[in-house]
Amino acid sequence: QIQGYVQTPGIHSPEQIEGWKTVTQRVHQKGGLIYLQLWHVGRISHPDFLGGNLPVAPSAIAPRGMTTYTPTGPKEIPTPRALEISEIHQIVQQYKTAAQNARDAGFDGVEVHGANGYLLDQFLEDSTNLRNDLYGGSLENRARLLFEVMEAVGEVWGSQRVGVRLSPGGTFNDMHDSNPQKTFGYVLQKLSKMDLAYVHLIEPAIPEGEHPTPDLSARFFRPLYSGTLIVAGEYTREKGTQILKSGLADLVAFGRPFLANPDLVERFKKGAALNSFDPATFYGGGVAGYTDYPVLD
C-alpha cells in the first residue's frame, strides 16, 4: 500500500536497514546528523506497484486527471478504495515498525510526512476525507490518524527526535481544504504540546508584494506553535535571512537549491553564486543531476 513512484527507497526489509547503515555511517563520519522521512503515499499510487491491488485512501476519491510513473511508463491514477478501520490500525503499526527500523539503521531521528497530498494529508483535509467514523467528519477525527502516528513513532524515538512536515493550503496532488487556517491551526496547537524536534511547514508560493487571503504563511501559524519551526517554499538566501531575523521561523529548508549545490551552506556563507538546477534530472536516472553538480574550488 505504500509505494507510489519508481525507484523510491524503503525501510521495511533487513536488506534496506543494512543498506541505510552505510549512508548514516558516512554522514556521522563527517559530523552530520540525518533524519529519515516516513512516507505513505495513500491514493497517489497505481496497481502496478501494489500487486494489482487498488491504492488506499480515507475515501474512494481519485485525484483528478493525475498520472504516476510506473515501471512501464506513466499511467492514470485510479480511484482508490477506502481503508477499513482495522487497516488504519495496521498502518499506525507500520509507521512504528519503520521508526524502529530507522533507529536500527543508525538515523538520528525521523520526520513524519504529513504534507503534499499523501496519506496523512488525505485524512486531514475535507476534500479527500468523507468518512463518517472515528477517522472522519469532525476536525478532531480527521486529525486522529496523524496524531496516532506521531504518538506511535514517539514511543520508539522519544518526541524530541520526531519532526513532522505539513503543507497548509497546498494544492499538489489535487488537494483542497475548505478552511485550512482552522484545520492546520488545530493541528499546530496540538503539536505544540508534544515537545517535538520540529514542525516543517511548507508555505504556499506567494508572488512578491502580494498578501493572499487566507494567510497560510508562518506569519499566521507561528503564534500557534511554540516549538522549533522550519519553513520551506522557494526561499532564497536573502528571504531566508529576513524570516529568521523576524522571528517567524527558527530554520529555513531548501530543496531544489540543495539538489544543485551540495555545498549550499558554504555558498551561502560566502555569498557565492549558485549552480542552476536541471528539473529533468530530479526524479530517477543515473548520476546526472545526482552526483555531478560542481562544488566551489
Kindly state the percentage of the chain with pLDDT values over 70. Answer: 97
Partners of 231 in beta bridges: 201, 252
Q: Residue 176 — φ and ψ, nearest 5°?
A: -165, 140
Domains of the chain: 14-253 (3.20.20.70), 254-297 (no CATH)
Strands (E), 40-118: 56-57, 67-70, 73-76, 81-82, 109-113
Chain-centroid distance of CA 112 in Å reads 7
Q: Which of 118, 135, 198, 235 is catalytic?
A: 118
**pLDDT tens-place string over residues 28-39:** 999 999 999 999
In this prediction the pTM is 0.94
- Is the per-residue pLDDT at 154 higher than 90? yes
Mean pLDDT of 179-200: 98
118 is catalytic: yes
The per-residue pLDDT for 81 is: 98
* pLDDT-derived band at 211, boundaries 50, 70, 90: low
**pLDDT tens-place string over residues 75-104:** 999 999 999 999 999 999 999 999 999 999
Q: Residue 28 — φ and ψ, nearest 5°?
A: -70, -35
Terminal Cα-to-Cα distance of the chain (whole angstroms): 45
> How many angstroms separate the CA atoms of 216 and 194, rounded?
22
Mean pLDDT of 284-295: 88
